[in-house]
Amino acid sequence: MAENTLFPYPLPVDTPPMEAKSAARLPSEGKWQFEPKWDGFRCLVFKQGGTVDLRAKSGKPLGRYFPEIVAYFQDVDADAFVIDGELIIDVDGHLAFDALQMRLHPAESRIRKLSTETPSRFVMFDILIAPGGNSAIERPLSERRRLLEGFAKSLESSSQAELSPMSLDRKQAERWLSESGPNGTDGVVAKQLDGHYAPGERTMIKVKRLRTADCVVCGFRYESKSDNVGSLLLGLFDGEGKLHHVGFTSTIMDEERPALTKRLERLRGPPGFTGKAPGGPSRWSTERSGEWEPLKTELVVEVRFDHVTGQRFRHGTKLVRWRPDKRPDQCTFEQITP
């Protein structure tokens, strides 16, 4: 981790948030806290004095893209805290992930304009450092939730920040799951009630109505008898850091193919896959191949899938969205391992 320059205790601003493993159903044994899964950008809010730092799951700073959230927490009458949550944007009463992606723009004037037209909200669901600088990481979730609720009560009523609902009732979680969908929440997250906060570890369970995974785009194939991209080749990292081919997606809108092709062609080059690959690589440097073109591992895409066989998607997947907020090395087999 990078050297800590914000706090006098060992919690760097690139501390990764606790993550979740996908499951087909909600856990029924043990003590669990259930929460809606929000369809936004995961974010840790760090504050020390008048300094506020927003960090994405990848560790990259988000503050310049969400100035209204930074301004809100600068005005909060509390010092030295770290809150875990999700940045979301509502458009016409529905969560709009596309509106979040539009914020990742190089022009500050554009960002300022969007922050006024489509302001974001921060949904709080965990606390790592309580106000005053006291670490809560080793405390069980039940205690962290009480600390978080106390922090939320101390805040002035605002549309900029809110406390995520939770329940210990599995039936309520099932109702949340049945109500989730593309225009609402993204499913349900289950957290062990006596578990401590485990940065970077997949100790939570997430359940969606539709199973999805974030994959690295490691290569592509051209359409038959066409100069446009036909399908994207998907990869996931194993425990040794090798990137394996796990399937493909070809659900690309026809009107998007020309621009996407140009984008991919600019990224042609190694490494592509470093583990299992879909056949021999093409001679990417000088000649287009009829097989597949390896890419530099920079792009991440979320795909929807049905079944996994032999650590590969059994069928073609559906492209859900691009994930500029995630690092390629965060795309691991843990997402699809039962």
Q: Which residues are identified as catalytic?
A: 37
Return the DSSP state at 99: H
- Give the whole-angstrom CA distance, residue 18 versus residue 85: 11
Name the E strands within 99-249. 120-130, 134-135, 161-163, 187-192, 202-207, 212-222, 229-237, 243-249
Of 57, 99, 86, the residue nearest 330 (C-alpha): 57
- Give the whole-angstrom CA distance, residue 161 versus residue 122: 5
Return the DSSP state at 78: -
Assign 108 to helix, strand or coil: helix
The torsion angle over the Cα atoms of residues 14, 151, 207 and 200, rounded to 10 degrees, is 20
Q: How many CB atoms lie within 10 A of CB 103?
A: 20
Question: Alpha-carbon Rg of the chain, whole angstroms?
Answer: 21
Q: Please give the structure tokens belonging to residue 34.
A: 């259930």
Cβ atoms 38, 13 nearer than 8 A = no
Separation of CA 219 from chain center: 22
